[in-house]
Structure 1
Amino acid sequence: MGITVALAGNPNSGKTTLFNKLTGAKQHVGNWPGVTIEKKTGTIHRTDAELVDMPGIYSLSPYTPEENITRNFLVGESPDVILNIVDASNIERNLYLTLQLLDLNIPTVVALNMMDTVDKNGDRIDVKALTDILGCKVVPISALKGTGLKELTKAIVDTGSSKVPSKPIRMNDRIESLIDASEKEIRGKVPEKNIRWFAIKLVENDEIISTELKDSRNELSDDINGLEAEYEDDAASIITDARYRIIEDIVSKCVRKGVKENAETLSDRVDKVITHRIFGLPMFIAVIGVLFMGIIGYGDYPGIGTYFTDMLNGWIEESLQPAVADWCADMDVSDELTSLLVSGVVGGVGAVIGFLPQMLILFLALCILEDIGYMARAAFMMDRVFRFFGLSGKSFIPLLVGMGCGVPGIMSSRTIESERDRRITAMTVTFVPCGAKLPVIAMIAGALFHNNGLIALFVYVVGIVSVLVSGIILKKFKGLSGRPAPFVMELPPYHIPSWINVIKGTLDRGLAFVKKAGTLILLASILIWFLASYNGAFQYVGDNGTTGSMLESFGRATCIIFQPLGWGDNWQFTVGSITGLMAKENLVSTLATLFSVDDEGEAIYTVLAAITTPAAGLSFLMFNMLCAPCFAAIGAMHRELGTWKATGAAVLYQCVFAYAVASIIYVIASLIYGETAVVSGWIIAILSIVAIVALIVRKEPYTKEETA
């Protein structure tokens, strides 16, 4: 029977790289029970050991979902071995988690990672001395270069076979006497194996443990109060300080620095430029702009993503659809079924899959920027901007995650300590386009703006500005008012990206997109085809949706709502916006089905360019970028906000805000492109500007009352 190994460590310690190197392709990805945080498991090469990747954490305190997941697994599931990865170049910070893990009495192996960086800096770590002090096997490795992994694998297997539990590193006698008293008080109430960990958490007044063992905490209150009076501090801080004193002693005995304490590293020198107070943010915008122009294109110069997308779309429209149509004709398939296969399935799903090359290249670029450490700098720089608008820089982290998918973006808002900032972030994360919205951006940019990559940059900038403006507006409402939480974040050193991580991350995101296209989008395309091909009496009327179909009737009845935005005369756009709630990619497949992009090679670009204007197209794009997200993201929002009433209010705000922004963009774009905006568009745009400005300048009515 195999052993279970829990991989635990700080963020940016190389945990993902080590997991990929140890398990290779033998990985399984799902979600932890009850949350959407990713759970990864895999089998270690040439062993029967299952490696479970814990979320990156700094401690075992119950402050974030990641910390709760890790401690619940370690205590509740009690793995056979804990593999604690430690960044050897930042050993002082990393050992804080190590000391807590040793208190769990679970066999432990310490992987001393980034030893190549330690050697490069001229530092030396006495691994034997560190092993003796920690009382467990310590293996020096470089996960990035793959060195030391055979020795690490052997140490894991040997430790799992021996089942020798870890030994805690004891603190001073005064604290240990209180921990002993705590152990006696809770013995029989908690697992004996982890009793020391529970005892310490009870003394620290851990929120969850103290609630579960309330009576025991009350019994110890006099002893704890005596300790706090003696040290003139709270118990949690006293224990934290004691741990850091132990770490200082360990470092003094085991680490020899070869670089002067204040020596400036290469990362420090680069950061002086990259994170510059004045030039840092424009440089970030320029990087993203060049990225989009290189992928989507600019003017008459197609980007690399557009080049491959055009090739794939051409094959679908000129080869695949005619081939399916010919096959249906040869097999004497009915007109209805032929229409379903050609227009509904191939036309609908193919219209979305056609944008896969652009998405893969964008995912690849973002994974590289993230792996080299640049995205962490972007979050640091955005804190200055976000704080000015009443939000913490931590709100930018969910926005970065949300660029891949809105669901984990919303869920990652849990890492924000301030409840108000967390709720506002959950409500506004989806303003920044996720991967599912990229086909819509590419479609409008290709149809109306000659594949101009600046359109994509414009959409992302408007999304971030919408988050900032919403931060000001929403803070004016009771329940969401208050000051932004402080922002503390580690900036990892720059390093060459791990191509295994980059490629795997890109393929994982691309595969998730393809799976959605093969399931949800396929079903939606069939449903849209059915509604566009049959009337209310369920009579087949053709597949172009313009001959009295159910979809046409619905679209024409509701499209008047969007006339002030410039695209209300095209009821297909209205229907597309609604089907986009299932998945934003559906918008592309819906339009492809309704406009019957067929085997004559008539691309969706050509159809859209013939029926709408750049101003109306930009308005349509921005409304769908900012309005209510897909159903899955709405569900994630509900889990964060707690009630359907709050979720409904959030969705209503998103839709109203999107409508207002789209109306303003429509009028401004009409002036730029020399178009004549409809009168109702001017009225709505002016009212929207007045309302937004009024909400921005309005004083916060609840902040003074709360802080008084």
Structure 2
Amino acid sequence: MKSKIVVALAGNPNSGKTTIFNNLTGARQHVGNYPGVTVERKEGFLRHGDTELKIVDLPGTYSLTAYSAEELVARNFLLDEMPDVVVDILDASNLERNLYLAVQLMELGVPLVLAFNMSDMARARGYEFDIEKISRYFGARIVQTTGNKGGGMKELLDAIVLTAGKSESGVDNAGNGRPAAISYGPELEEEIATIEALIKMANSLNGKYDARWLAVKLLENDRELRKAVASPEVHAQIEKSAAHVEKTLGEQPETTIAGCRYGFISGVCQEAARSTIEIRHTMSDRVDAVVTNRVLGLPIFLGLMYLVFQLTFTLGDPPMGWLEALFGWMGEQMAGWWPEGSESLLKSLLVDGVIGGVGGVVVFLPNILLLFLAIAILEDTGYMARAAFIMDRLMHKIGLHGKSFIPMLIGFGCSVPAIMATRTLENRRDRLTTMMVVPLMSCGARLPIYALIIPAFFPQAWHGPMLWIIYVIGVLLAVASAKLLRLTVLKGESVPFVMELPPYRLPTLKGVLIHMWERGWLYLKKAGTIILGISILLWAMTTFPGLSAEESSRYEKARQAVAMENIGEEEKAEKLAALDNAEKEAALRGSIAGNVGHALEPLLKPMGFDWKIGTALIGAFAAKEVFVAQMGIVYAMGEADEESETLRDKLKGTYSPLVGFCIMLFCLVSAPCMATIAVTRRESNSWRWALFQLGGLTLMAYVLTVIVFQTGRLLGIGI
């Protein structure tokens, strides 16, 4: 370690910084001005053990964004002169306000020591701090001081010397971990990443500053740094990103960034600071006292999710009926291009494969949009962060922490970005555990399956509750699976994490609509590309090789015989329809898909499934929504007219409510889609974990579904 180190004292005005500076340096001070400005520069010297320290008292500042001469001087000193240690002096009796500067210093990545000054006053006001926990969140040593009485000075000097030693060697001999990373939310993070990439490409400021830190400051509209960046491409992107954020979130990026930082601070104080006496609360505090309450928090969260699912069906049912009618009409019109009774393969492809397959998925778009709208509202108000905070207690009990719940929340939309979001977890065991259980959070791709099954088998009053139940089952299975993994193959300590609690705010209509439509559009694009391709492939598998000429001739002769019978027209029509259905089923049984389904049927029977459901489940491995499209193809819904039964009615007439529930349960738990398996392999850097996820979830789904079906059958439930 250096025998002489440079220490910068930073802190808010009136935090007691000057008092501590005087305590440390005594008469060995030098006072002057910083070059070019009238801001005072104080330096002092002292020896502690074998180490000589040069202490620089920076101007009092609330922030490192250069809005004033004092802030500019403080920031430039830290960036240009790179002191060995930065000591942030905080007023411990007003911790939340003072921690804002500490957060910015943490983001800057300087070797940091936090001095909780006025600790005696904080104790007198009834504040108690978990120093070790806060220290781990900030990756910095914390010393409690009383500057006006000279208390804690030796401990502060010890911490400075140790931190300087860590900075030089890269080894923390006091056990402090890396500081927590602040997430600015998906909107800002995407823009920050774009700007960061451009900065690296443009080599702006020659790598003088960390690219991510610089990207955040530029998006925060730091004028001094914007002047220093010469790249026109970077400036253009900053303007574009700022406009997008303002349009989406309804506020300027610097406001959102500040809100996220204060959210981080609020989360720190929620977890590691408490007051033993009554103090005045803000409106946000009063709301949080209810929604994050240990007793009420979880029931409120579950109640809100129940309300979301109830509204998803109640409001989504009419427009879904309109879309069903639209696609039914399209099928009729297209079928009308051929003579009645035509066996054209092109007609079957367009009507059954394209309209029946893709249309069967698109009709659930209203449910998807309503679900994403509700989630966007909960996210933009700040409640979703509280939901993660509520679940944090449960996460700790299963060996994870609240940070793991963030990818799990994202998993309600799609498992692929949810698994990618596990990158924010520092501990590999936490990452792998979270990756393995994320698919159990029911993604948007499964919603069409629920929207098909629930109205088919359950009365209107049970639509919302059944959807809520299936989502809760997924959460509970994820929790149980995570606990099992942490007790067996992924044993180890979990890393502590602070939940960010952003301030409550009224979401903008434009913002929530943009979030809703972006996710809905992804669903539509998937329907028009991946699902279209798979639907055509599955249509081919259910169409070929088809009936032999001899079999077709036998059914044709049977129809002619019925036509010649001396019976009523209604009875004749019923017999002809029965023959048509028998011919279709015979063709399907002999098809490629039918043969595969029949081969799997002995395995599927204990779950209550037949070969038709098995055929549809094969397609669901590619994308979960394909199950709906495949069931439509299996039941030839493309040829339905206005008097035909809907797919729901056909399912209801074929299967029991118990089988319907088992279909939802199996699709919830079983192997995720191919894209999820691929991203798990990439993020875990191992096929072993990807295949473990694939096999483990499929086996769990099979065992659970068999147990539920056989138990229900024995008890006579839903049969």
CA deviations over 1:203-258 (Å, ceiling 9, x no partner): 89xxxxxxxxxxxxxxxxxxxxx996466763289999xxxxxxxxxxxxxxxxxx
Whether 1:441 and 2:411 are equivalent positions in the alignment is no
Q: What's 2:353 paired with?
A: 344
Q: Secondary structure at the match of 2:512?
A: helix
- For the aligned residue pairs, the C-alpha RMSD in angstroms reads 3.6
Whether 1:599 and 2:531 are equivalent positions in the alignment is no
The 1:548/1:129 distance shift into structure 2, 3 A limit, reads: closer
Structure 1 residue aligned with 2:331, among 301, 321, 336? 321
Distance 1:365 1:230 in 2: 50
Distance 2:520 2:539 in 1: 26
Distance 1:530 1:552 in 2: 11
Q: Secondary structure at the match of 2:76?
A: coil
Structure 2 residue aligned with 1:133, among 58, 61, 70? 70
Q: What's 1:519 paired with?
A: 529
Q: What's 2:672 paired with?
A: 629
The normalised TM-score by structure 2 is 0.58
Q: 1:668 deviation in Å?
A: 4.3
- Contact kept, 8 Å, 2:65 with 2:72, in 1: the verdict is no
Q: What's 1:169 paired with?
A: 76
Q: What's 1:557 paired with?
A: 599
For residues 65-464 of structure 1, the aligned pairs below 5 Å read 130-135=67-72, 168-171=75-78, 176=83, 229=161, 234-235=166-167, 263-296=280-313, 303-317=314-328, 319-329=329-339, 335-451=344-460, 452-464=463-475
Structure 2 residue aligned with 1:499, among 496, 509, 530? 509
Distance 1:383 1:431 in 2: 18
Amino acid at match of 1:170: F
Q: 1:616 deviation in Å?
A: 1.4
For residues 512-661 of structure 1, the aligned pairs below 5 Å read 512-535=522-545, 546-567=588-609, 570-597=610-637, 598-600=639-641, 601-661=644-704
The 1:263/1:328 distance shift into structure 2, 3 A limit, reads: farther
Q: What's 1:74 paired with?
A: none
Amino acid at match of 2:330: L
- Contact kept, 8 Å, 2:64 with 2:72, in 1: the verdict is no
Q: 1:576 deviation in Å?
A: 1.2
Q: What's 2:499 paired with?
A: 489
Q: What's 1:85 paired with?
A: none
Q: What's 1:92 paired with?
A: none
Q: What are structure 2's unaligned runs of at least 5 residues? A: 1-60, 87-104, 113-157, 180-277, 553-582
Q: Secondary structure at the match of 2:590?
A: coil
The 1:325/1:537 distance shift into structure 2, 3 A limit, reads: closer
CA deviations over 1:643-669 (Å, ceiling 9, x no partner): 112211221111111112222332444
- Contact kept, 8 Å, 2:616 with 2:626, in 1: the verdict is yes
Q: 1:322 deviation in Å?
A: 0.4
Distance 1:421 1:538 in 2: 57
- Contact kept, 8 Å, 1:543 with 1:594, in 2: the verdict is no
CA deviations over 1:415-448 (Å, ceiling 9, x no partner): 1222111101101101111111100011110111
Q: 1:538 deviation in Å?
A: 10
Q: 1:642 deviation in Å?
A: 1.3
The 1:669/1:228 distance shift into structure 2, 3 A limit, reads: same
Structure 1 residue aligned with 2:705, among 654, 658, 662? 662
The 1:333/1:615 distance shift into structure 2, 3 A limit, reads: closer
The 1:313/1:174 distance shift into structure 2, 3 A limit, reads: closer
Q: 1:485 deviation in Å?
A: 2.4
Q: 1:263 deviation in Å?
A: 4.0
Distance 1:639 1:371 in 2: 31
- Contact kept, 8 Å, 1:532 with 1:543, in 2: the verdict is no
The 1:324/1:231 distance shift into structure 2, 3 A limit, reads: closer
The 1:265/1:525 distance shift into structure 2, 3 A limit, reads: same
Distance 1:126 1:457 in 2: 45
CA deviations over 1:157-209 (Å, ceiling 9, x no partner): xxxxxxxxxx9521499963799xxxxxxxxxxxxxxxxx9xx97989xxxxx
- Contact kept, 8 Å, 2:423 with 2:431, in 1: the verdict is yes
Larger Rg: 2
Amino acid at match of 2:592: M
The 1:309/1:547 distance shift into structure 2, 3 A limit, reads: same
The 1:426/1:230 distance shift into structure 2, 3 A limit, reads: closer
Distance 1:360 1:551 in 2: 32
Query: Aligned residues, how many?
Result: 454
Amino acid at match of 1:566: G
Distance 1:403 1:520 in 2: 20
Distance 2:400 2:65 in 1: 47
Distance 1:325 1:230 in 2: 80
CA deviations over 1:466-510 (Å, ceiling 9, x no partner): 1111012212333x1123321311101111002222111111111
Comparing 273-282 and 663-672, the one that deviates more: 663-672
- Contact kept, 8 Å, 1:339 with 1:543, in 2: the verdict is no
Q: Secondary structure at the match of 1:493?
A: coil
User: Identity over aligned residues, as a percent?
Assistant: 34
Amino acid at match of 2:717: G
Distance 1:662 1:354 in 2: 28
Q: What's 1:112 paired with?
A: none
Distance 2:674 2:545 in 1: 27
Distance 1:551 1:281 in 2: 45
Q: What's 2:203 paired with?
A: none
Q: What are structure 1's unaligned runs of at least 5 residues? A: 1-123, 137-166, 180-196, 205-225, 241-260, 297-302, 677-708
- Contact kept, 8 Å, 2:111 with 2:163, in 1: the verdict is no
Distance 1:549 1:631 in 2: 24
- Contact kept, 8 Å, 1:398 with 1:409, in 2: the verdict is yes
Distance 2:395 2:162 in 1: 42
Amino acid at match of 1:234: K
Distance 1:265 1:328 in 2: 70
Distance 2:606 2:84 in 1: 73
The 1:173/1:475 distance shift into structure 2, 3 A limit, reads: closer
The 1:487/1:668 distance shift into structure 2, 3 A limit, reads: farther
Amino acid at match of 2:694: V
Distance 1:612 1:394 in 2: 42
Q: 1:356 deviation in Å?
A: 0.4
Distance 2:591 2:70 in 1: 77
Distance 2:344 2:707 in 1: 45
Q: 1:636 deviation in Å?
A: 0.9
- Contact kept, 8 Å, 2:111 with 2:164, in 1: the verdict is no
Amino acid at match of 1:324: M
